[in-house]
A and B are shown apart, each in its own frame.
Chain A
Amino acid sequence: SQQGEEDPQALSIQEGENATMNCSYKTSINNLQWYRQNSGRGLVHLILIRSNEREKHSGRLRVTLDTSKKSSSLLITASRAADTASYFCATDHGNYGGSQGNLIFGKGTKLSVKP
Chain B
Amino acid sequence: NAGVTQTPKFRVLKTGQSMTLLCAQDMNHEYMYWYRQDPGMGLRLIHYSVGEGTTAKGEVPDGYNVSRLKKQNFLLGLESAAPSQTSVYFCASNRVLSTDTQYFGPGTRLTVL
A residues within 8 Å of B by Cβ?
A: 3, 30-31, 33, 35, 40-45, 48, 88, 90, 92, 100-103, 105-108
Contact = CB atoms under 8 A, between A and B. Distances in A.
A48 B101 CA distance: 8
Contacts of B44: 105
Nearest to B104: A42
Grouping DSSP codes into helix (H, G, I), strand (E, B) and loop, the B interface class, with mixed when no group exceeds half, is strand
A44 B3 CA distance: 12
Contacts, number: 53
Contact of A41 (B35, B45, B107): B107
Interface in B64-110: 90, 92, 98-99, 101-107
A112 to B, nearest CB: 17
Contacts of A107: 40-42
B43 interface: yes
Please classify how large the interface on chain B is, using the bins under 10, 10 to 19, 20 to 34, 35 or more: 20 to 34
Contact of B98 (A88, A102, A106): A102
A31 B106 contact: no
B90 A30 contact: no
A43 B104 contact: yes
Contacts of A31: 99
B40 A45 contact: no
Nearest to B103: A45
B5 to A, nearest CB: 10
Contacts of A48: 101
A105 B58 CA distance: 13
Contacts of A106: 42
A80 B52 CA distance: 42
B4 interface: yes
